[in-house]
């Protein structure tokens, strides 16, 4: 069992720690780079860029990775007053919701004293509904973080904005309630992992050329509203420097997204079919990534982010899942020739989040797992249209998990007057600390992609900080083991944006509550069709 001070300090790696992860080194001005040398002869089949550290841009120019990255970081004009105002508007919206939903929120009024708030006596793990804690607060955190990022703030400054906005809400606005430790951790950490992808996506669609049409400006304003609004307010030009990609947006940010329709059969002893959507996206602001060139770059501005979302419904069935990942800092390296053959990979400090909500007849499962900053490494190689990739990560985790063992434990009966964890009694989930690791492999054969992954997570419940700890007589120890396996075969139809994919997935859970152990497994087979760019 962790002491209160130790648990409360768990937010520090996300707040204070991340706020110092990237100092701002002296960077070269763009005009210090001198004239750009012409690239090699386009007819060459082998790339010869001379010294490492350069890449061949989309416009054929030879560019320095170091100078391009330095320019990206220097080309900022953060607007603090706008960030403060927008964060304030988010808080006002929350206050309005709090007032409109007053009857439900009254149940959470613990009325702690200010002394208890400052001495940490009133810092507890709350007992709100699972979707509120593990999705509602997370999406709020994504907004708290992405807004200052859109206003040109660096990673540590945006992290500080997100943490302080969350803290103001928990400590001051909800002063009638005990301070929710889980909300502080999840709002910041999980919010950052989603918010960075949103920020990078906005950056891409805000990368207009100088001669963009009115229609392109309307599209940019719709798909990147925070950045477009910010530039309109302070008079910053909406255009960004080239070169530009096939869709006409600045290649400063690389964005790959795909999505479409998915039909899934879920089997846990009973089979149920759901129909819904899927979305996947990857964004990167590493200069030259994927283009011909040989270089190694240390990045430290959360430059690589990814997001996956699926949602589906069926007869008495619901399935929702989200996975987000951000590489906060690390090394990216590549050696690629003109044909795209070669090696590339990363070694990075990664923050990630996973949310799963499944509700089927006779089967319910919920997972909310914040993968705290941990190590991730990946390596890819491609030659003559055949490629492979390997990826591994290892993280410490903070999680909320449905307990399959609680129902059977409850059936044994409690002695009169016995009281268990309130979040367990009300909503059948619990808070836990643990760790997880994941291995992935990928094989590319022209338009075909075969991919697979395996993950293991081990979790142990938090004791001693229940919202109503003083009333508990049984503070049971709960544990869970989560094993995930997945396999997919995808086809990108040549010369089209059409994507077809078949997917198999399996999640095995072993839940333990005291001496009660329950093993469960759910499998799924999915067929997806969609488009991507």
Over the range 155-181, which residues count as b (16 or more CB within 10 Å of their CB) and which as e? bbbbbbbbbebbbebbbeebeebbbbb
Q: Is residue 497 part of a domain?
A: yes
Residues 405-452: tens digit of each pLDDT:
999 999 988 888 899 999 999 999 999 999 999 999 999 999 999 999
Q: Is residue 312 part of a domain?
A: yes
* Residues 315-342, mean pLDDT to the nearest whole number: 97
pLDDT at 51: 67
Residues 70-82: tens digit of each pLDDT:
999 998 889 999 9
Round to whole Å and give the CA distance between 392 and 323. 16
* Residues 448-477, mean pLDDT to the nearest whole number: 97
pLDDT at 109: 86
Round to whole Å and give the CA distance between 512 and 169. 35
pLDDT at 452: 99
Q: Is residue 109 part of a domain?
A: no
* Residues 211-236, mean pLDDT to the nearest whole number: 91
The residues, any chain, with a CB within 8 Å of residue 382's CB and separated by 6 or more, are 340, 341, 342, 388, 444
Phi, psi of 425 (to 5 degrees): -65, -40
Instruction: Decide if pLDDT at 22 tops 80.
Output: no
Instruction: Give the least confident one: 30-34, 201-205, 422-426.
Output: 30-34
- Asked if residues 162 and 155 have their Cβ atoms less than 8 Å apart, the reply is no
Round to whole Å and give the CA distance between 185 and 175. 18
Instruction: Decide if pLDDT at 40 tops 60.
Output: no
Counting the structural domains of the chain, the total is 1
> What is the residue-wise DSSP string for 262-273?
EEEEEESSSEEE
Residues 492-529: tens digit of each pLDDT:
999 999 999 999 999 999 999 999 999 999 999 999 99
pLDDT at 21: 40
Do strands 448-461 and 429-445 pair parallel, antiparallel, or not at all (unpaired)? antiparallel
Range of the domain at 471: 274-532
pLDDT at 49: 54
Round to whole Å and give the CA distance between 98 and 173. 10
- Asked if residues 462 and 497 have their Cβ atoms less than 8 Å apart, the reply is no
The residues, any chain, with a CB within 8 Å of residue 406's CB and separated by 6 or more, are 424, 428, 478, 511, 513
pLDDT at 30: 32
Q: Is residue 36 part of a domain?
A: no
Q: Is residue 75 part of a domain?
A: no
Round to whole Å and give the CA distance between 265 and 87. 42
Q: Is residue 383 part of a domain?
A: yes
* Residue that wins the pLDDT comparison between 235 and 218: 218
Q: Is residue 176 part of a domain?
A: no
Residue 486 CA to its chain's centroid (Å): 19
Q: Is residue 440 part of a domain?
A: yes
Q: How much of the chain, in percent, has pLDDT values that exceed 90? A: 81
């Amino acid at each position: 069992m962790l002491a209160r001070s130790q648990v409360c300090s768990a937010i520090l790696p996300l707040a204070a720690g991340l706020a110092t992860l990237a100092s701002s080194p002296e960077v070269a001005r763009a005009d210090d780079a001198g004239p750009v040398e012409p690239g090699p002869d386009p007819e060459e089949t082998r790339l010869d860029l001379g010294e490492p550290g350069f890449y061949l841009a989309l416009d054929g120019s030879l560019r320095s990775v170091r100078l391009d990255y330095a320019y990206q970081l220097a080309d900022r004009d953060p607007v603090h007053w706008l960030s403060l105002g927008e964060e304030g508007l988010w808080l006002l919206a929350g206050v309005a919701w709090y007032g409109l939903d007053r009857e439900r929120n009254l149940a959470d009024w613990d009325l702690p004293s200010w002394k208890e708030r400052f001495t940490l006596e009133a810092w507890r793990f709350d007992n709100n509904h699972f979707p509120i804690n593990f999705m509602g607060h997370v999406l709020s955190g994504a907004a708290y973080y992405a807004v200052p990022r859109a206003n040109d703030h660096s990673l540590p400054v945006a992290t500080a904005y997100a943490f302080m906005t969350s803290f103001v809400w928990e400590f001051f606005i909800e002063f009638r309630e005990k301070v929710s430790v889980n909300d502080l951790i999840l709002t910041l950490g999980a919010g950052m992992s989603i918010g960075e992808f949103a920020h990078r996506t906005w950056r891409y669609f805000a990368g207009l050329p100088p001669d963009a049409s009115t229609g392109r400006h309307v599209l940019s304003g719709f798909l990147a509203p925070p950045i477009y609004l910010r530039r309109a307010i302070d008079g910053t030009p909406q255009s960004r420097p080239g070169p530009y990609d096939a869709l006409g947006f600045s290649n400063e940010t690389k964005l790959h997204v795909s999505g479409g329709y998915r039909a899934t059969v879920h089997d846990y002893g009973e089979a149920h079919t759901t129909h819904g959507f899927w979305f996947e996206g990857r964004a990167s602001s590493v200069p030259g990534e994927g283009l011909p060139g040989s270089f190694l770059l240390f990045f430290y501005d959360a430059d690589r982010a990814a997001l996956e979302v699926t949602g589906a419904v069926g007869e008495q069935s619901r399935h929702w899942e989200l996975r987000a990942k951000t590489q906060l800092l690390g090394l990216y390296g590549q050696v690629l020739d003109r044909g795209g053959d070669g090696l590339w990979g990363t070694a990075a400090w990664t923050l990630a989040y996973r949310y799963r909500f499944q509700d089927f007849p006779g089967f319910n499962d919920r997972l909310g797992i914040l993968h705290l900053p941990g190590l991730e490494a990946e390596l890819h190689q491609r030659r003559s249209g055949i490629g492979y990739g390997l990826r591994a990560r290892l993280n410490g985790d903070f999680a909320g998990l449905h307990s399959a063992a609680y129902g059977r434990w409850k059936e044994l009966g409690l002695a009169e007057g016995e009281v268990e964890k309130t979040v367990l009694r009300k909503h059948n989930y619990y808070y836990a600390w643990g760790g997880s690791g994941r291995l992935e492999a990928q094989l590319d054969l022209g338009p075909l992609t075969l991919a697979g992954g395996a993950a293991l997570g081990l979790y142990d419940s938090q004791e001693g900080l229940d919202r109503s700890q003083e009333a508990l007589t049984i503070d049971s120890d709960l544990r869970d083991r989560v094993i995930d396996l997945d396999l997919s075969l995808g086809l990108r139809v040549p010369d089209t944006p059409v994507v077809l994919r078949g997917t198999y997935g399996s999640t095995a859970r072993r839940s333990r509550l005291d001496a009660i152990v329950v093993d469960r497994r759910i499998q799924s087979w999915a067929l997806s069709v969609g488009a991507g760019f």
